[in-house]
Structure 1
């Protein structure tokens, strides 16, 4: 009995200890792991004496799996959750925030433009584990305008210049400009940004600065600072003025999206779900027909497929079409019911004596390559009297409202307050600078009126719109007459050469070759007829 009484306090202590562990387990979400000193203070119980509840509690398999985070309904919230760029309390960021706060409608317009594409862009960014602030970069670059074109020759929402676009795989030709193809350009932009991040050791502010200014310029600025014993971070670098405001503008947009209400703004919600689908086709298709089969307007189709310059997809591809998600399946069914040869309208052209593929292509507004492919031609040789199949638009040109030609016409015709329009035909030797100087306008103005950049190439015979402040032609000390081009035929004489004929008519040898389908190794024969486009005003003033 004495031994039993002596053992009773120990048993009571063990039971009390077990109750303490069970009570603690009820208050926590996970198993409790006591410290080593606690484990030494309480003797271990034989397995047979351990309460079932305690065994069950310490078995991880009995714990429920944690619930995945709730998927946000608003795409902007999803973007917020992926922000990773460093905070910056800088006057330039505050200045940009003030700019946005003073324009409450700006983000509403941008959100509406971004709506079709933004989900796709965010998906691609997250798939690469990149900061979601990059989804805001098209706001800085182009305000999400897919047809944006800068004075520096940059195009599309990501504003690729021609050389960089080609380097990252963006095709650019008469039919198609991949810089404006939102899907293709997004892939290229993220490839470029990833490479810049690696180049600058994961410093995203430097990577974004290099996207704007060029990696070489940013690297040289870092090297100058290091040589002078100064820091090499973005805020310490001597960079172009545009770049010094470019990065703060992105950070200001991040702050604005993070807490729009703090800045007195409201950003329209965008559903966190796909808005578009892609349909891959095997052949060229008229965009008016595609719009009809999809049940949308031609203009809506161009807005979703801004990479296409003309009235159809490119002969060599891509043939991919982006459509509203809810219409894609019906379009696939409708287009499958039509034979591919009916996807384009064809015209049968009889080759006239003296005609070349170049001349026929110009007449029908197609490319020589398109004619070759349609007619299974290997070279440029065609015979008078033979027939060619020529792809032509199925609707009047005005119905392809956002084709390159119609966008140019709309830009040239857009009224400018206090100015009146004049037309000018480019002639040999002209440049933006000489034409602008002759008419008393700015070079950038002149290029912008014609959907061009000052660095773009002018073509002889190209028609430009010039908006002058005076309805009368500008008079200068040596005002040149307006160019008037006229087609003429010239019969080759003994002793003539392409160079001599070009000099005589104030054209170039390459133009003579192009107009007449001449190769580089051919010889002229006396009696041969050449076609020329001659500026008659220049001839009369010689």
Structure 2
């Protein structure tokens, strides 16, 4: 994955930073029509509100101009398409910069709350908007489909709040129910019900100001000492129907681009090939599209993928064969028309195989790169997941935090573990580390936590450095109740040294 960017999640980051210096009178923006000019022409939100929350975020961005430049460089592949989609819906073009806030335009971004892709859809919301999530493919990272889903969602939220885009944005972050309840409380108290007067979760109170701050800087970057990456007002990519499953290295070769470029345009594909059940389209740079389309049409069927014929041996199991060939039992069942996991020695299985050893930016390669990255003086230990293992237990045994363990393995703290999965654990070794592990065992305490207004399972898990799944395991009744209510009591087992 690309290097981590400085966090802009904390609204306090900008505290105490000076306002940017006003430019000289002769410092005027170029009037040349480029994509940035088109975006500014489509602004429709009120950016003239003198709000402290917006000023704080604007100061932070102004103090980190290189960050802004990197993010806008990353946006070049995607932004023209997003602008076209937003304009088609007659939406304020400030909204096209929302991926700056959500993911820093990193299509592979994955948050501790299990949100993925440039628009950071969580699994359930992604499925609601038709974004499939399989071993082969994650539609939350599909550039075209996730963009349309995100804009559809924002439109729905805007209609729910009578065209108020700030409330729609707050709902995108916190959920429409959270915003509606906050408005209802203000109504009952005789207070205004606009975004600025609502009592919302801390992250949400900073979320909308971040977008407004970004929009202000895009409107007048010189004023804030920021350089936007130049972008021509023209499409970057074109969609090509490839007619079926194809090896991505083969596709990149036919398009005469690198496999890295192909993955950056098609980050939804997790593996070395497109998904067998589709979608059967690929995005390629505009200049490569026509030649690529012709070459794919002429490609013999047997050259689209590399297949291995495996003769089943006595003692084999479908899961063991799948693991040895970097695939899954479900894929083998689907390809070989198997109704279950029963296989017979002597028969043959057809197994898809990559045509080269490494596919840069595939899910497997991103995981390997992250697991192998040296972390100070820590030593790497591989942990093979056994039945009953939890991230919390593994983290405690190795004297590391759940969040760190999850991050090292491209996971979120709430992600389920699979038996046989290998986790990289970076820990300190030696006598001191052993003593600390023993001390940690002694510091685990049972805690009774009373749910507060605005709490969620993810927020509580993050606060106490545990996972959502652990909270559910410790509190059986949560399986039957989707929403927490203020006053609910939860049982938690936490390291008291890390308790808030």
Normalising to structure 2: TM-score of the pair?
0.78
Q: Which residue of 1 aligns with 2:173?
A: 212
Q: Does the 8 Å CA contact 1:438/1:474 hold for their aligned counterparts?
A: no
Give 1:11-90 correspondences, 5 Å limit. 73-87=33-47, 88-90=49-51
Query: Larger C-alpha radius of gyration, 1 or 2?
Result: 1
1:167 equivalent in alignment to 2:112: no
1:436 equivalent in alignment to 2:395: yes
Q: Which residue of 2 aligns with 1:117?
A: 78
Q: Which residue of 1 aligns with 2:372?
A: 413
Q: Which residue of 1 aligns with 2:185?
A: 224
Shift of 1:261: 1.3
Q: Which residue of 1 aligns with 2:199?
A: 238
For residue 467 of structure 1, the aligned residue among 422, 426, 433 is: 426
Cα pair distance change 1:279/1:471, threshold 3 Å: farther
1:92 equivalent in alignment to 2:92: no
For residue 307 of structure 2, the aligned residue among 322, 329, 346 is: 346
Q: Does the 8 Å CA contact 1:421/1:471 hold for their aligned counterparts?
A: no
Cα offsets for 1:224-268 (capped at 9, x unmatched)? 111111111100011111111110000001110111111122212
Q: Does the 8 Å CA contact 2:242/2:296 hold for their aligned counterparts?
A: no
Cα pair distance change 1:426/1:370, threshold 3 Å: closer
Shift of 1:393: 0.8
Shift of 1:157: 0.5
For residue 381 of structure 2, the aligned residue among 422, 442, 450 is: 422
1:455 equivalent in alignment to 2:426: no
Shift of 1:338: 1.4
1:301 equivalent in alignment to 2:262: yes
Shift of 1:389: 1.7
Between the aligned partners of 1:358 and 1:106, the Cα distance in structure 2 is 44
Cα pair distance change 1:235/1:173, threshold 3 Å: same
Q: Which residue of 2 aligns with 1:312?
A: 273
Between the aligned partners of 2:175 and 2:374, the Cα distance in structure 1 is 36
Q: Does the 8 Å CA contact 1:357/1:382 hold for their aligned counterparts?
A: yes
Shift of 1:355: 3.2
Between the aligned partners of 1:284 and 1:309, the Cα distance in structure 2 is 13
Q: Does the 8 Å CA contact 2:69/2:226 hold for their aligned counterparts?
A: no
Between the aligned partners of 2:191 and 2:343, the Cα distance in structure 1 is 68
Q: Which residue of 2 aligns with 1:21?
A: none
Between the aligned partners of 1:384 and 1:465, the Cα distance in structure 2 is 35
Where does the alignment leave 5 or more consecutive residues of structure 2 unmatched?
1-30, 442-500
Between the aligned partners of 1:108 and 1:438, the Cα distance in structure 2 is 42
Between the aligned partners of 1:406 and 1:435, the Cα distance in structure 2 is 23
Cα offsets for 1:62-94 (capped at 9, x unmatched)? xxxxxxxxx963101100011111232101111
1:327 equivalent in alignment to 2:275: no
Between the aligned partners of 2:214 and 2:90, the Cα distance in structure 1 is 20
Shift of 1:479: 9.9
For residue 104 of structure 1, the aligned residue among 54, 65, 80 is: 65
Structure 2 counterpart SS, 1:174: coil
Q: Which residue of 2 aligns with 1:187?
A: 148
Q: Does the 8 Å CA contact 2:242/2:293 hold for their aligned counterparts?
A: no
Shift of 1:371: 2.8
Cα offsets for 1:461-494 (capped at 9, x unmatched)? 22211222445663444999xxxxxxxxxxxxxx
Structure 1 counterpart SS, 2:414: coil
Between the aligned partners of 1:91 and 1:430, the Cα distance in structure 2 is 46
Shift of 1:417: 2.4
Structure 2 counterpart SS, 1:456: coil
Between the aligned partners of 1:373 and 1:426, the Cα distance in structure 2 is 26
Q: Which residue of 2 aligns with 1:68?
A: none
RMSD: 1.9
Cα offsets for 1:48-74 (capped at 9, x unmatched)? xxxxxxxxxxxxxxxxxxxxxxx9631
Q: Which residue of 1 aligns with 2:18?
A: none
Shift of 1:319: 1.9
Q: Does the 8 Å CA contact 1:181/1:306 hold for their aligned counterparts?
A: yes
Between the aligned partners of 2:344 and 2:403, the Cα distance in structure 1 is 45
Structure 2 counterpart SS, 1:421: strand
Shift of 1:414: 1.2
Cα pair distance change 1:383/1:433, threshold 3 Å: closer
Moved more, 122-131 or 220-229: 220-229
Between the aligned partners of 2:439 and 2:148, the Cα distance in structure 1 is 51
Moved more, 161-170 or 410-419: 410-419
Q: Which residue of 2 aligns with 1:277?
A: 238
Moved more, 421-430 or 73-82: 421-430
Where does the alignment leave 5 or more consecutive residues of structure 1 unmatched?
1-70, 481-542
Structure 2 counterpart SS, 1:116: coil
